[in-house]
Amino acid sequence: MTYSDAIRFLYNLRWFGAKFGLDNTFKLAALAGNPQNQLRFIHVAGTNGKGSTCAMLESIYRAAGLRVGLFTSPHLVAFGERIQVNRKLISESDVARLVTEMQSLLEQGWGRMDAGAPGGTPAPGGHPPESAAFPRLSPSIQPFSRSSR
């Protein structure tokens, strides 16, 4: 999968709409081996100031020697701005690789995605969870672990 294919796949997931609740999120996390159980998160929510708050927290944790991940949405110029580790944007090759892995999990959990319709068509009874695969949530900070810069 190319970077362009990956971005197209992600944006086409919007055709399936949102399914509220956490069932799909928990299902996808379980299919991925529950990686969230190995990490620490700060989720910043609210009406105003989320981006500034996250930028400030990211700087504080990074200055303290922590490896810090940051997810923000939407991006300003390029999709890679959404996912950063220690201020380094996710590479196009990593986006393509991760979307390929996520697409495999989506197909495993919700059925094959047919290429004919925008974003694919879920198999009968399937519902690909756009918000679970790559959530459009408020920004969040993810302090990983102490590391050298």
53-82: pLDDT as tens digits: 999 999 999 999 999 999 998 889 999 999
Number of independent structural domains in the chain: 1
| In contact, 47 and 40? CB cutoff 8 Å | no
Residue type, 52: S
Give the pLDDT band of residue 113 (cuts 50, 70, 90). low
Beta strand 140-146 pairing with 42-43: antiparallel
Alpha carbon distance 106, 125 (integer Å): 13
List, in sequence order, every residue forming a beta bridge with 70; answer none if it has no partner: 84, 141
Q: Which domain holds residue 88?
A: 3-146
Give the rounded percent of residues in the chain with a pLDDT score beyond 90.
50
CATH code: domain of residue 31: 3.40.1190.10
Residue 99 has pLDDT above 80, yes or no: yes
